Amino acid sequence: MFMPAEYAWFEPVLIAAIIVFIVDFVGSVIVFSRRPALNALTSAVLFAIGFGALVYYGYGKIDVSLSTTPSPSAPVHGAQASAPQSSPAQ
């Protein structure tokens, strides 16, 4: 993450806008557009505005969380692996 924490929403918008620019530029060059860079820049800016608003206001947010719980069949490591020894009754 290269942005400060308060601008964490801007990083995916910037990365996605760069991808849109590259894809649109290549598409414009393939169809022999007269101004491929200007077309790609316009598409990327419009995409960044729309996608940035959606990300900033939390629409379509995807939360990915990972939680691990020990499995009952998982082996126990360390000192807990040995069974507790019971002392003879006095």
All structural domains of the chain with their residue ranges: 1-60
Q: How far apart (Å, rounded) are the C-alpha atoms in residues 85 and 90?
A: 15
Taking the CA atoms of residue 65, residue 70, residue 72 and residue 78 in that order, the dihedral angle to the nearest 10 degrees is 170
pTM: 0.59
pLDDT in tens, 30-81: 998 888 999 999 999 999 999 988 888 877 665 656 677 766 775 666 655 5
76-to-43, 50, 51, 80 alpha-carbon distances in Å: 56, 51, 47, 7
Q: How far apart (Å, rounded) are the C-alpha atoms in residues 41 and 21?
A: 6
Is 37 or 87 the better-scoring residue by pLDDT?
A: 37
